[in-house]
A and B are shown apart, each in its own frame.
Chain A
């Protein structure tokens, strides 16, 4: 076992040396954003903002782009990652603590995504499937990806954007039963509602702060910014299309009654040889969430490697994956999972839109002070 561990480690480091080109940032950003959030965000935001919820999608997209803009501003000067940023701005002790906070954040987000998907499978396809067996299989797959190094994680991101693309084309079917007057009258929501919906929307947009970890591994770092923005905008566009179709296809309260409205859209699909695409959709969605979890766990692993370069990756991965496995088993039923997700969302919100701007300002202030003296 120890021998394999060493081997996996050397391989990991060897592959990490190879950088990826800019276009992959598009996939990395987009794929980590589209996960389980895409299944139920309509419900979350329509609950607050009613039929005008599409505004929250757009506003959320703008905010995400803004956040990415600031991330690049903070990173591109020195081409460093968030660990180095922490060390520089907060000092080594405090920086380490905050870097660890990121690590825990990545792991918990990954765990939340994985558990939500397992619930999805249990509700939609196999009510009798045991949580432990499916989570163990998924965890093994994730390990197989991550032990291949960053290159493989990026590759999975690319393919899991390309392969499930056909699901988007299937949205033509609910369009036939859609009634776009549901969107009228436009602008019936208050500012407070809009803000509330945007807050709810961000769960579906989160994950892009993995950029803070893989930035140094990009070829020609600063130049990749446009791909990052295109990636985030593409996510926004897809969510926008989905919310428009959802609001038009469902009536408002019907939408709220659906736990996973996106799969509800696939229920109406019918081809002469196959119908009811939600089953195919659930299977295909495994691609969408696995790449998500892989990237998040890779990022957490990267934090560890940056803090303690000598540490043993395999041990870390085994511990993290067992923790996730435990979490998967311990959370039973929708209420537990929803609570856990809620908790992760708040955390993510805090990190992305409170902590990071603060860190940025702090860095800026330090820069000024440094220049003054």
Chain B
């Protein structure tokens, strides 16, 4: 109701500027659109009250058009634009004299009805068609336990999914439009009174100053508003799970959702969060903590595995006990390459299999993975081109990178090992240590929405360990992490702590 009223005011304003009326201006417009195949313009000049109707065939819902709008135009008694607006049983009908605005609205699935007599305003009736899939199970962040719904491309659906989990009035949703061409809707979500206003301001300011013509996905936003755009580490956590979004909102974080993208962005993020799966909260805390530690350790080893192999085999044979050395030498006996080249070739082929698997449809991808993995692996060992021990190391570390619940972090982990590998070849263990030092310094310098990325390690906040390296029971999660600098640190304020433990 409010919106329509505002529309009416708008018309009153413009009437002063344009005396000629909308119809004449619109005819010019129609002329220029003649070649547009899906533009429909029908005029009924012979009627009692002559009117024309224009819309894009591909953008409007024909059911609404034929069953609601057209019958009204046939039957109802209307004398001017205002009565037509009132007669239309559709929300958010607007009146306008602005041709430019009418064009924009038409592109959003509106139907324009123009009364041709007098200087009447154009009546914009929304009848957009809903294109897109329905809510399905998560594929990137699949969990065995817990809810099985994932975001889809429609922003309204996604907002609905979140609202459904957080039926509170404090949940604020701010809309922005970004992209000169794409006109993408971006929503910033936070809970008032919990989220730190500073974080919200940073996000909104950065989104408002984004300048790009085509914003196709949330990852565009993530890359453009990141603190350090040139870092290979993702600085905003992307998720497709409404339960994770609801959880972090309650924790006091800010969520960014982009129309047309099934991935929501969460900030401020810390490195540790990329290793938390939503599952962790659906399992007993001991098991969840164990799995989390496994994930962390294996990711850590994944980018040290092959560099250490190269460093030790190239420079530090002393480190190997004699028994193990015999095994290693035997396995490398026929390999003509130095360990570095061997490792690079093998890492490369693993990346090849992964990339090929990602580009192909699921079923073929699976086959490619198996065929590629087994054939390349076995054949290269049998041909004496790689040692089977390195094959184990590389395969295990490739597997480890897939344990990260957030896909983007897995990519980063896979990328990092190549520079470290090079350092291992150049300076052995010292090179690995120095590369690692560089990595740590980089992580220390990194921020997410101006919040330190390595929290709770640095700044050291022991209390935040309760939900980072480990996942302690809900009993210990009575306070929100210091990291988000929430305006209300206590969870469940005013209620009994045993009830309503949120899922984050």
Contact = CB atoms under 8 A, between A and B. Distances in A.
In the complex, are there CB atoms of A and B closer than 8 Å? yes
Given A137-B434, A144-B438, A286-B430, A279 B457 contact: no
A15 to B, nearest CB: 9
B454 interface: yes
A158 B430 contact: no
Contacts of B316: 125, 279
B318 interface: yes
B321 A24 contact: no
Contact of A158 (B320, B427, B438, B457): B457
B441 A141 contact: yes
B458 A159 contact: yes
B396 interface: no
B304 to A, nearest CB: 12
Interface in B418-444: 427-430, 432-434, 437-438, 440-441, 444
Interface stretch (A256-264, A270-278, A321-329, A349-357): A270-278
Contact of B428 (A125, A273, A284): A125
Contact of A270 (B321, B440, B458): B321
A286 B434 contact: yes
B430 A125 contact: yes
Contacts of B454: 155
A100 interface: no
Contacts of A148: 441, 444-445
Contacts of B445: 148, 152
A21 interface: yes
Contacts of B315: 125-126
A67 interface: no
B321 to A, nearest CB: 5
A283 B460 contact: no
B433 A284 contact: yes
A270 to B, nearest CB: 7
A290 B321 contact: no
Interface string B80-99: 00000000000000000000
Contacts of A111: none
A44 to B, nearest CB: 26
Contacts of A279: 316, 318-319, 429
A137 to B, nearest CB: 6
Interface residues on B, range: 20 to 34
A283 B433 contact: yes
A272 B202 CA distance: 52
Contact of A274 (B319, B441, B452): B319
A159 B444 contact: yes
A324 B434 CA distance: 19
A124 to B, nearest CB: 10
A145 B443 CA distance: 11
Given A126-B428, A144-B441, A279-B429, A158 B458 contact: yes
B319 A159 contact: no
A145 B459 contact: no
Given A24-B459, A279-B429, A287 B437 contact: yes
A226 to B, nearest CB: 15
Contact of B321 (A23, A125, A275, A284): A275
A338 B419 CA distance: 36
Nearest to B318: A276
A156 interface: yes
A154 B320 CA distance: 36
B438 A280 contact: no
B3 interface: no
Contacts of B444: 148, 151-152, 155-156, 159
Contacts of B437: 141, 286-287, 290
Interface in A143-173: 144-145, 148, 151-152, 154-156, 158-159, 162-163
Nearest to A282: B430
Given A280-B429, A286-B430, 12 more contacts: A125-B428, A126-B428, A126-B430, A144-B441, A152-B444, A155-B458, A158-B457, A159-B444, A274-B320, A275-B320, A276-B319, A279-B316
Going nearest first, the 9 A-B pairs with the smallest beta carbon separation are A155-B444, A283-B433, A155-B458, A283-B429, A148-B445, A152-B444, A276-B318, A286-B433, A283-B430
27 contacts: A21-B460, A23-B462, A27-B460, A129-B427, A137-B434, A141-B434, A141-B438, A144-B438, A151-B452, A152-B441, A152-B445, A155-B452, A155-B454, A155-B458, A156-B444, A159-B440, A159-B444, A271-B321, A273-B321, A274-B320, A274-B321, A275-B319, A283-B428, A283-B433, A286-B430, A286-B434, A287-B437
